[in-house]
Each structure stands twice: as structure tokens, then as C-alpha cells.
Structure 1
Amino acid sequence: MKKFACLILLASFLFSCKEKDYTKFTNDPLLYCKTVKKLNDVVLYNNFSPVVASRNYAYANIAAYECMVAGDSTYQTLSGQIRHLPAMPKPLAGEKIDYHLASLLAFVKVGNAVTFPEGVLIEYYDDLKQKARNAGMPKEVLNNTVAFSDTIAATVMKWSKKDNYAQTRSSEKFTVTQEDGRWIPTPPAYSQAMEPHWCDIRTLILDSAAQFMPPAPPVYNMKDTNSAYCREVMEVKRTVDNLTDEQKHIADFFDDNPFNLHVTGHVMYATKKFSPPGHWMNIVGIAAEKSKADFDKTVAAYTETSIALFDGFIACWKSKFKTNTIRPETVINKYIDPAWQPYIQTPPFPSYISGHSVISAASAEVMSHHFGDNFAYTDSSELEFGIPNRSFKSFREASIEAGWSRMYGGIHFRSDLEQGTIVGKNIGEYIVRKLHLTRNEDQLSYNSTK
């Protein structure tokens, strides 16, 4: 009898050790950062446009967040805060669930469903479950966790399909006109306008795509060399013609072109980088690691930033395709120098306002809310593309530099950047005011010393 009792005690001891080991595995916030990076890599290698990428990140993070919320009473569901987001499924009373693993699995499952080709993240999904088994997670807990994660992922996916994305796949193509001052395709690919109907995508927090519309851009006027428009054109040309090494580094660092086409004679090839939302997702991970944010705070920061990126692009695209303004390259080639080229490649959509400026300013406001107004950090995101790091005193400083990188690159006018920054800041501030992720929002505020 004593021998039997000892065996029971030994089994209990081994089981408790395994559960302790498993807790350490699932509590690691860097694992969530790694998981977001997995999706980021899929987005990169499959050439998703920046706006579509923002959709991938938003829905995947929201699914992860809703799993996390179910296990942490200090956080609040987004249902009702995102007015059209339905109530989320609740776990059954008494069920043992690892909510951090559920968050990871839901992120991967939703990310896998909204990317192409579907299924590319399944191996990573299976690896996460195997890690749980190897760490000693009881089969019942793993089954409960997977089942709960699946219900959240399915609810988010069903909701996501009502955002008009599918309808925009079959919308009429954008009509290019030769009217003075209007956008036309640019070298070297002369691609058609990218996602001209993106402003029809359902917003998450904004009331509509037009909620923060900028004023009209400067009136197109190349006949008067003293006109505000002509002065902006000449500023772009002078800037690119006299770039310093520092300005080139800034332009390269924030280029974030997911498909940069190179043409040499009859040879064409493309190089890839993160898109702008992918870059900002990386920055969230850098900030979370430096601040030593726990798993739940890390998920919250990623989620709110991805929402800012998503709504920011929708609002920006409303302005772009309403004003339909020409790019600097086209104007300079036509009126000043036919052989002139920008430092970086002009993307295939209208100029006003700058997408980089909008989404960077929006992200900076949200991230300042989570990590502090003067959170200094070094951005190492571009090292994998051979571009040296840059350091910043704050997220807002980085967002301003991201905007000006487009002037240094020769692809945007001053007004594009300045008005884009204003719109983005307004969007970020609005999202911070509207969303209350914790029951006490102060718990999410970090100061720069943390």
C-alpha cells in the first residue's frame, strides 16, 4: 500500500513539473513576437500589397486578443468596441484552457486563412501543439485549448468576410485619364492602380473612411514657377539631386517596397522587403521586448497597432483615389527632365496623401499609448535586407522620419507628407480614445524608463 502511495506521489510530482514547464513555455511574450514574424514572412514572400497585409495582421491579432481576454479579467473584449464585431464564444465553465496557447493558435489559424496560398502556416501551427505536448501539457487541456481557439478563429473569420474585401476583388478597374495633374502609371512596370476600391473596405474603429479627410492638395499649376504646386515639385527634384548619405539611408530604411522591380536592358527581376505595416509590426515586437512587456500586454499592443494600420490605410486610400493626384516623377519627366528618376521606386497609386505618413503617425500614437511618449529604441527590422539599424528617441520621431523618407526617395510632395501625418495622428488619437483594452487603461501606459 505504501509503495502504491509513493507511486501516486511520484506521478503527481512529475505531472506538476510538466505543468510548471509548460507554463514557462506559454508565458513567453517573445513567442508571440516570433509568431507575428512568421505571418510577416508569409506576407513578404507572397507579395501582398501593403493594404492587404494590414488586413492580414488586423484579423489575426484580433483573434489572438480575444483568446487572451478570456483568460485575463483585466482586459476587455473588443466586441461592442468594434461596433460590428459579434460577441465572442465563451469557454465552458470548469474547462482547463491554456489561453496563451489559444492566442497563438488562433493567430496562426486566422493568419493562415487570410493569406495565399492558404495552408502555408499549418506546419508552424502543428509545431506549436507539439511544443505543448513536449512540455507536458495534459491531453485534455490541449484538446480544450484547441477547441476554444478554433471557436474564436471561426467567429473572427466569419465576421471578416463581411468587410467587403471579396466584393472589391471584382470591382471595376480604375480608369486612367490624361487630364493634367491626374495620376498615370509610372516606370518601370507601369502597373495599374493598386487596390483603387480599398476605401470601400469596412473600417474597424473609424466611423467611415472619410472621417478624417485632409484639405484639397495644392492646385496643379506648372505654368507659374511661383505657384505653390511648382515650388513643391522643384523641392522634390532638388532634394533627390542633392541627397546626403544620411538621407539615402533614411529613404532605404523606410522604402518597405514589397516588390521592387529592377530593369537592366532586357533583364527584369524583383527584390522584396517588408511592406510598411510589416515594418511597424516588427517595431511593436522590438518595443515589447525592450519594455519586458508580458504576454498579454504584448498581444494588446500588437492588436491595437494593427487596427490603426488597417483603418489608416482605408482612410488614406479614400484621399488618394478621390484626389487622384500625379506623382513627382511624372511631372518632372514631363516638364523639367525626361531622364530624371526618383531615388526609390514610385509605387502604383496616386500621391496625395502619403500612406507611409498616415500609417506611421497612427501607429506612433497607439504605440506611445502602450509604451510611453519618449520610448527610445533601435530599429533592427531592415538588417535582414542588408540595411543598417536606425535609432529613435520616440515612436513619433520615427513616424516623422518615415514620412520624410518619401521626399528623400523622390516619390512624394511636401503636402502629401504633412497632411498625411496630420490625418494619421488624428486616426491614432481617435483609436486610443475609443478603445479601452483594459478596465483601467492606465495599466497599459509605460514610461520611458521601463
Structure 2
Amino acid sequence: MIKKTYLLLSFIWIAQCARAQQAKAPDYLALDKAINSVSAVMIHDVVNPPAAARYYNYFMIGPYNLVALNNKDIVPIGNFIKSYTQDNTISLAPGQYNYKIAAVYCILETGKLMLPSGYMLQDDEDKYIALLKKNNISDDTIKASVAAAAEMTAKVIAFSRGDNYNRLSGKLRYTPLKGGKNWYPTPPMYMEAVEPNWKTVRPMMIDSSKQFIPARPAPFSTDTTSEFYKQAYDVYKISHHPSTEQVNIASFWDCNPFAVTTSGHMAIGFKKISPGGHWMNIAGIVTKKANLSFDASVQVLVLEGITLMDAFISCWDEKYRSNGIRPETYITRYIDNKWAPFLQTPPFPEYPSGHAVLSNASATVLSYLLGDHFEYTDDSEIPYGVGPRSFKSFIQAAEEASVSRFYGGIHFRDAIENGNTQGRQVGADIVKKLKAAKVQPLIK
């Protein structure tokens, strides 16, 4: 009995040491630092939400491929992304380079080559090399790992060129229609519609942009007894007496890449992370809390990036199909011409809520990977003067993100409720295909 107890304590001690060692992973393997670097450039470039999701997706594919080449327990990406037919082999064999270093560098290199102001990441790459040297990584290892990252980056960029993104600029520009149910540019900048042809971008895992068309929104009407008017009046009513908690929720999930405040003839712009950037940050937060290995963390981050891209493609397909009027336009026309929402209205049609779709898709996939009751604290908005907030599950966070748009005055109820359903359908389809490819949950 004493011997068994001793062995049990020994195993516990070994497990604790392993966890402690993992928790003290060297800072040069911090994935979140590399992601924050590319996010900073996207903030600088004011990358719109759908495009930001696309970039996050491609930034993480290279690191995932490098991990899969070196860890046979990681399912190759082509097993669950049908369109990915690239040969992922590189000239360096496993063991000839440090694949974890290569994976981190690959995030920076992909950002450098894909983003409009990607040249800004050269400084981050130089600092990363200096950090490696400070940690006594040999020059040969650094050179080989950077070479491996460069080879994989080239493959990812070649794959990205086939997604039709480069053809968007050649398509007809969107012309807003005045009056009736149609979306029209809103104050203060009356910006043109964001990515009206996004549905033509190739999805990653869902079959097509129109695979999950949501239920129809309430029919447009100015009749004060109609469902549409009632939904508009609900937005108007809550804006007059929101609770402190409702204001906090709206602010926390704002995620407007470029909000503008006017003062007289002067316009002041405020930049911050996109909705996709917020969920990528959540993915980084929870991988740390779950104490996941480097390889498993890369897996969570790439699947979150894939989910974001497909969620935006699905959502944007419907946005420009229904072309719905925003609460701000409707309320100032038919209820109160001096009204303004708490949050600045984004420059694209109302239905469905993008936050609802992408948040619920993300929550569904993250719940599959890490569990239905994963508790965490989200401090993503601290740099912008908001938060943190704690959640008992990803679904709870998604539901709060969705309703935040109602509290903020920029969405009607049915855009949120039907957007929630659409997002869960996108997430469920991705999970179904992950299961078929034998991608297992990371926490059981």
C-alpha cells in the first residue's frame, strides 16, 4: 500500500513538473505576440472585418502545416479543407530546423507579404531574431528555421491567390438605393458599403456562401402596428434608459476598426481590433488558460481563423441579399429625426448581425475543442479602455456579443436571433467536418 501511494505521488509530482515546465515555455514561442504584431499592422491599415478574418485565416495555416509536418498526431490540413491540395513538404526535413520557431516566424512573414503595410513587420522579425539569439539559439538553427518558415509562407500565399480575393476590385461597386427597406450610408462619414462582393471569396470548410441562408427578416413597414416598426421602436426605447451593464456590454463588444467622432469641422478617427481580432485574442487567452502545448495552441488558432473566414463569407452573402436598412436610418426617418445610436453604425447592410454569426460560429468550434463549460476572463479590450469581462462558456460570450449590437443601437432583434442560428449552423458544419477528419477535442 505504501509503495502504491509512493508511486501515485511520484506520478502527480511528475505531472505537476510537466505542467510547470509547459507554463514556463520560452517567450520566443509566444504565439500571441506574433498575432498581436500582425493585428497592429491591420489596425494601422484599417482592414475591414471580412478582410481581417481572411488574413487571420492565412496567417495561421503556415504554422499549422509546419506543426503537422513534425507531429504526426496533427491531422494534415488537406484532410478537412477540400480546396487545400498544396504539397506541404519543404526542402528541410523534420529535425533540421526548429519547427516551433519556424511557426512563429511564419506568422510574421505571412503578414509581411500579405498586408498592405506588411513592410512594418520587418522590425518585428528583426526583434524576433534578436530574441532568439538572446536565448542562445544557434545561428544555424535560426537560419534553418527562418528558411523553413519562408518556404511554407510561399505555399500559403500561393493557396491564398486562388480564393478570388484579388478579383474583388474588378467587380461593380455597390450603389446604395434611397428610400424603402434598403441600406443607405450612415453618419458621421457616410462611408461606402464594405465588401459587397465578399460572397465570391472561396470558403475554407463550408460548401458555399449560400449554404446557410437565415430565415427572412421581418417585412419592412412604416405602419406603427407592424413587427418591423415594433423592432425599431425597441431599439429606440432601450437607447433612452440602458442599464450600466448594457452600456458596458455594448462598449466591450464594439470592435469597430475605425470609428469617427466629429467636433465642428474636425473629424477624429479611433482605430481598434476587428470583431475577428477580438475572437482570435479570445482563442489565444484560452489556450494559455487550458495550458495547451504549442502544437495544440496552433491547432486552436488555425481553426478559429478558418471559422472566422467562413462565418464572414456566409454572413456577407445574406447582408447584400436582404440589403437591410439600419436602425439609425429608419428611426431618424420615421420615429425621431434627432436620434443617434450609442455605437457608430458600421458601413454595410443590417441583416443579419455579423457579431451574431461569427461569435456563435466561433463559440461552437471552440466549445468542441475545449468544452461546453470553459470559463475564462477576456481582457481583449483593455488597450481600448474597456473590460475585462468573465464568461462561464464560449456560448455565453457569443450570446453577449450578439445582444451587444441591440444595446448599441445598430441591429434589430431578428438580425441578432437569426444571426445566432446562422452562426451555430456554420460552426456545426465545421465541427462535423473536423470529426470526419478525426480532429479530436483537446479537452475531454
TM-score, normalised with respect to structure 1: 0.90
Q: In structure 2, the residue corresponding to 1:271 is in which secondary structure?
A: strand
The answer to which of 228-237 and 249-258 deviates more is 228-237
> For each residue in 1:348-371, what CA deviation from the matched residue of structure 2 results, as whole angstroms up to 9, or x when unmatched?
000000000000001111111222
Q: How does 1:149-168 map to 2 (within 5 A)?
A: 149-168=149-168
Residues 66 and 88, structure 1, Cα contact 8 Å, conserved in 2: yes
Query: What is residue 208 of structure 1 aligned with on the other side?
Result: 208
Following superposition, the deviation at residue 236 of structure 1 comes to: 0.8
Following superposition, the deviation at residue 431 of structure 1 comes to: 0.9
Q: How many residues align?
A: 422
> For each residue in 1:295-343, what CA deviation from the matched residue of structure 2 results, as whole angstroms up to 9, or x when unmatched?
1111111110111100100110000001101001111111110000101
The answer to which of 146-155 and 24-33 deviates more is 24-33
1:388 aligns with 2:387: yes
Query: What is residue 222 of structure 1 aligned with on the other side?
Result: 222
1:262 aligns with 2:258: no
What is the letter of the counterpart of residue 258 of structure 1? P
Separation (CA, whole Å) in 2 of partners of 1:173 and 1:120:
30
Q: In structure 1, the residue corresponding to 2:30 is in which secondary structure?
A: helix
Separation (CA, whole Å) in 2 of partners of 1:437 and 1:146:
34
TM-score, normalised with respect to structure 2: 0.91
Residues 377 and 392, structure 1, Cα contact 8 Å, conserved in 2: yes
What is the letter of the counterpart of residue 336 of structure 2? D
Q: How does 1:171-210 map to 2 (within 5 A)?
A: 171-210=171-210
> For each residue in 1:228-271, what CA deviation from the matched residue of structure 2 results, as whole angstroms up to 9, or x when unmatched?
11111111111111211110000000011111100122121011
1:425 aligns with 2:424: yes
Query: What is residue 298 of structure 2 aligned with on the other side?
Result: 299
Separation (CA, whole Å) in 2 of partners of 1:252 and 1:374:
25
Separation (CA, whole Å) in 2 of partners of 1:189 and 1:257:
14
Following superposition, the deviation at residue 25 of structure 1 comes to: 9.1
Following superposition, the deviation at residue 24 of structure 1 comes to: 10
What is the letter of the counterpart of residue 389 of structure 1? P
Q: In structure 2, the residue corresponding to 1:257 is in which secondary structure?
A: coil
Separation (CA, whole Å) in 2 of partners of 1:273 and 1:136:
36
Residue ranges of structure 1 left out of the alignment (5+ in a row): 1-22
1:367 aligns with 2:359: no
Percent pairwise identity? 35
> For each residue in 1:34-93, what CA deviation from the matched residue of structure 2 results, as whole angstroms up to 9, or x when unmatched?
111111121112211111111111001111111111111110111242111123124544
**CA distance change for structure 1 residues 280 and 39 in 2, over 3 Å: closer, same or farther?**
same
Residues 41 and 118, structure 2, Cα contact 8 Å, conserved in 1: no
Query: What is residue 70 of structure 2 aligned with on the other side?
Result: 71
1:312 aligns with 2:315: no
Separation (CA, whole Å) in 2 of partners of 1:390 and 1:24:
23
The answer to which of 382-391 and 94-103 deviates more is 94-103
> For each residue in 1:366-411, what CA deviation from the matched residue of structure 2 results, as whole angstroms up to 9, or x when unmatched?
1112221101111111111111311111111000000000000000
Residues 112 and 118, structure 2, Cα contact 8 Å, conserved in 1: yes
The answer to which of 30-39 and 352-361 deviates more is 30-39
**CA distance change for structure 1 residues 29 and 440 in 2, over 3 Å: closer, same or farther?**
farther
Following superposition, the deviation at residue 99 of structure 1 comes to: 0.6
Residues 35 and 108, structure 1, Cα contact 8 Å, conserved in 2: yes
Query: What is residue 19 of structure 1 aligned with on the other side?
Result: none
Separation (CA, whole Å) in 1 of partners of 2:101 and 2:24:
9
Q: In structure 2, the residue corresponding to 1:169 is in which secondary structure?
A: helix
Q: In structure 2, the residue corresponding to 1:120 is in which secondary structure?
A: helix
Following superposition, the deviation at residue 94 of structure 1 comes to: 6.7
Separation (CA, whole Å) in 2 of partners of 1:309 and 1:259:
19
Residues 343 and 409, structure 1, Cα contact 8 Å, conserved in 2: yes
Query: What is residue 343 of structure 2 aligned with on the other side?
Result: 344
Query: What is residue 15 of structure 1 aligned with on the other side?
Result: none
Residues 105 and 125, structure 1, Cα contact 8 Å, conserved in 2: yes
Q: In structure 2, the residue corresponding to 1:261 is in which secondary structure?
A: strand
Query: What is residue 412 of structure 1 aligned with on the other side?
Result: 411
**CA distance change for structure 1 residues 406 and 101 in 2, over 3 Å: closer, same or farther?**
same
Residue ranges of structure 2 left out of the alignment (5+ in a row): 1-21
Residues 362 and 426, structure 1, Cα contact 8 Å, conserved in 2: yes
Query: What is residue 17 of structure 1 aligned with on the other side?
Result: none
Q: In structure 2, the residue corresponding to 1:256 is in which secondary structure?
A: coil
Q: In structure 1, the residue corresponding to 2:386 is in which secondary structure?
A: coil
The answer to which of 110-119 and 257-266 deviates more is 110-119
**CA distance change for structure 1 residues 25 and 103 in 2, over 3 Å: closer, same or farther?**
farther
